[in-house]
Structure 1
Amino acid sequence: MRAVDLFAGGGGFSTGAKAAGIEVVWAGNHNPVAVQYHANNHPEAIHVCQDLHQADWTTLPAHDVMLASPCCQGHTPARGKDRPYHDKQRSTAWAVVSCAEYHRQDVVVVENVPEFTKWALYPAWLQAMDALGYAVSPHLIDAADHGVPQNRERLFLVCTQSKHPLELNLPQREHVGIGQVIEWGKHRWSPINKPGRSEATLKRVAAGRARHGDRFVAPYYGSGSGTTGRSIDRPIGTITTLDRWAVINGDQMRMLQPPEVRAAMGFPADYQLPPTRREAIHLLGNAVCPPVVTDILNEIRAAA
């Protein structure tokens, strides 16, 4: 089987597809850094850097599967107050319809945040896919259930050229604690009690230490783990595009580093990342978890 990857970004869809034995022959994204590193990691694919609203779908090589992760920022509640540019971000989902109209792939798999289904135009998007002959099966999937050391709940829409939606019987894998991928003996640590450390941080660390002992992780914002910390024996909370998670080790602490974030997303250790911390974390936080994709595509093949 051959696939194209729309909104390729960090390359999670392509990496997961490759592990499932599917050849990714084309990948597109508007971000030059994302395209560069996708090409570094998947040199066998044709790469296009452009707004996919303007893509010429006639130039795509022959393929059976479309993988697509349209922009989620206009849908997620983490965006804060709704703003005009979110309409443009939400509209990226129509590129999926446009590509499917021309190529009529056997399978289209779309990933987004669960709030995608609350989009005012979601019913119209479903109707458009239905008009193209696709039965759409929504699956709400937590990456932790697929061996990824992260609780990351995402919506996967499995669209097939079939009379009825394809219901997947996905495996439920053992959860992996984030402590297994933290590089305890590496990177630069700083004392917790140092001049200038904020009172909020000190309170967060004290609460986490009382609850979890000397080693735990804690986000720098949000409720839940943001006030209690999180055990390293559990998957970490959602990785975002921001530098969010701190690691506490006795009387020292530091932020989660890009190699650890890569592992927490389920990417292989040799997956190339940008050299700058900000760009690496941004790409990873936007990515799809590869092991989830592998399980989905293997199940689609088995059910076909």
Structure 2
Amino acid sequence: MMRAVELFAGAGGLAMGVSLAGFRSLAVVEWDKWACDTVRENQRRGYPLVSGWPLSEGDVRAVDWSSIPQDIELLAGGPPCQPFSMGGKHQAHDDKRDMFPATVQIVRGLRPKTFIVENVKGLTRSSFANYFEYIKLQLEFPEAPRQEGESWFDHLMRLQTEKTSGRMHETGLTYNVTATLVNAADYGVPQKRERVFIVGTRSDLGIDWHFPEATHSEDALIYSQWVSGEYWERHKIAKRDRPMQPAKLAKRIQALTTKPPTTLPWRTVRDAIADLPDPRSRAAANVRDHKFQDGAKVYPGHTGSPLDQPAKTIKAGDHGVPGGENMMVLTDGSVRYFTARETARIQTFPDGYVFHGSWTETMRQLGNAVPVALGRIVASSVAEALIRSELHRIQANMDANKKKSAA
């Protein structure tokens, strides 16, 4: 069994994806009490994916890591994103919530074979370019920490010199680091959620890893809606009840008619929640976390997610979230808030997983989470690369032994 440690686990999205990819968690660390209560509640209920997690509530910097063996297969986590998010104050290295230095320190101590670090798209903004490069270089050279009195920028310069020289890749603990900006919708998540994944493989292991190819596309969704009509037929929507074909898509639709896409269609809000009852109906009482929330309103810049598109990015807020990411637009043009269960569906949490706290608190946990399905896809690709590397090592040893025997 491949071993993993999860940092900044939140309500468990990435950690559940890691478990689904075949890793066994040796430690799951999260400082937020409400998120920990969610994990504990599911453990109490016997939910299989989390039942065996050794959950630790607290700051990752205060954890005693001595019981965790070096050379674990995976370290995974999403350091707090407020320093880089579009909704935050954008302080990056000046923000005390920046947990990248702590992450690097743990990498240095545990020497994992691989790591997966997830963060917001805002990390890639031009104003953060130097600091983003600094983060990647720290993860590439974890044994070259910042010295006392050294500014982060001077440390960056030193790391860049180190990378150019190539010395540490020959003698020290180093990682091959790849950073990829990903739209979750391209991987079957019913949400346009752009996130950065920073994946590292330990240089001495020769692991050949590439980010998984996208499996879904907007072109395929357009084709299924406006060329084949399969989307509407699947949802049993009569032609008279279908929306009008958007005029702005006419040329694109024509091109797709002659050259159909080979990917799967983006999944939409309707795809995600079609079998859930209306939260205002009596049947909704039988669905956990599916309570109607009143008060959704449309105003400039706050328009909600269309039913027949992937949702806007679910964010860690409720009434005040800009853009209306936490509400949906119904077929009659009215809007309502997503229920917690609908939001969980959009974040690809399984229905058997419940959330601890009020609707507002649950929406915060969900907004901070990595979609479970996306976490599984990324972690599975890392697991496959680890297995290929191990098989290659075994084969190389067998070949070497054969040569010795022949001699």
TM norm. shorter chain > 0.5: yes
> What is aligned with 1:59?
67
Q: Deviations over 1:230-286 (max 9, x none)?
A: 431210110001124333443864211000000000111111211410111111000
Distance 1:303 1:233 in 2: 36
Q: TM-score, normalised by structure 1?
A: 0.80
Q: 2:273 is paired with a residue of what secondary structure?
A: coil
Structure 2 gaps, min length 5: 43-49, 142-172, 217-263, 282-294, 319-323, 387-407
| C-alpha distance 39-3 of structure 1, shift in aligned 2 (>3 A) | farther
Answer whether contact 2:22 2:383 (CA < 8 A) is retained. Answer: no
> What is aligned with 1:107?
114
Q: CA RMSD in A?
A: 2.7
Structure 1 stretch displaced more, 33-42 or 105-114: 33-42
Distance 2:280 2:367 in 1: 22
Answer whether contact 2:305 2:329 (CA < 8 A) is retained. Answer: no
Q: 1:78 is paired with a residue of what secondary structure?
A: coil
Where do 1:63-82 residues align within 5 Å? 63-79=72-88, 81-82=89-90
Where do 1:124-139 residues align within 5 Å? 124-131=134-141, 132-139=173-180
Answer whether contact 2:3 2:24 (CA < 8 A) is retained. Answer: yes
Distance 1:95 1:85 in 2: 12
> What is aligned with 1:30?
31
Q: Does 1:186 align with 2:278?
A: yes
Q: Does 1:303 align with 2:385?
A: yes
> What is aligned with 2:317?
242
**Identity, % of aligned positions:** 27
Distance 1:221 1:47 in 2: 43
> What is aligned with 2:133?
123
> What is aligned with 2:239?
none
CA shift, 1:302, in A, is 2.7
Q: 2:109 is paired with a residue of what secondary structure?
A: helix
Distance 1:230 1:82 in 2: 26
| C-alpha distance 160-84 of structure 1, shift in aligned 2 (>3 A) | closer
Q: Does 1:9 align with 2:10?
A: yes
CA shift, 1:303, in A, is 3.2
Answer whether contact 2:178 2:200 (CA < 8 A) is retained. Answer: yes
Distance 1:294 1:83 in 2: 31
Q: 1:267 is paired with a residue of what secondary structure?
A: coil
Distance 1:6 1:277 in 2: 25
Q: Deviations over 1:80-130 (max 9, x none)?
A: x4469961112x111211111111000100000123242654333333222
Amino acid corresponding to residue 111 of structure 1 in structure 2: E
Distance 1:85 1:188 in 2: 46
| C-alpha distance 56-83 of structure 1, shift in aligned 2 (>3 A) | same
> What is aligned with 1:140?
181
Structure 1 gaps, min length 5: 190-196, 205-219
Q: Does 1:266 align with 2:363?
A: no
CA shift, 1:185, in A, is 3.4
| C-alpha distance 115-98 of structure 1, shift in aligned 2 (>3 A) | same
Q: 2:327 is paired with a residue of what secondary structure?
A: strand
Larger strand proportion of the pair? 1
Q: 2:106 is paired with a residue of what secondary structure?
A: helix
Answer whether contact 2:84 2:91 (CA < 8 A) is retained. Answer: no
Answer whether contact 1:13 1:293 (CA < 8 A) is retained. Answer: yes
Q: Which of residues 89, 97, 105 in structure 1 aligns to 2:104? A: 97
Q: Does 1:170 align with 2:213?
A: yes
Answer whether contact 1:32 1:49 (CA < 8 A) is retained. Answer: yes
Answer whether contact 1:170 1:295 (CA < 8 A) is retained. Answer: no
Structure 1 stretch displaced more, 96-105 or 256-265: 96-105
Larger helix proportion of the pair? 2
Q: Deviations over 1:167-194 (max 9, x none)?
A: 22334133111012336633238xxxxx
Q: 1:23 is paired with a residue of what secondary structure?
A: strand
Q: TM-score, normalised by structure 2?
A: 0.61
CA shift, 1:53, in A, is 2.3
Q: Deviations over 1:17-55 (max 9, x none)?
A: 122122222111111111222234413111111122222
Distance 2:77 2:95 in 1: 18
Answer whether contact 1:170 1:299 (CA < 8 A) is retained. Answer: no
Distance 2:119 2:333 in 1: 39
Distance 1:278 1:25 in 2: 31
| C-alpha distance 54-221 of structure 1, shift in aligned 2 (>3 A) | farther
Q: 2:5 is paired with a residue of what secondary structure?
A: strand
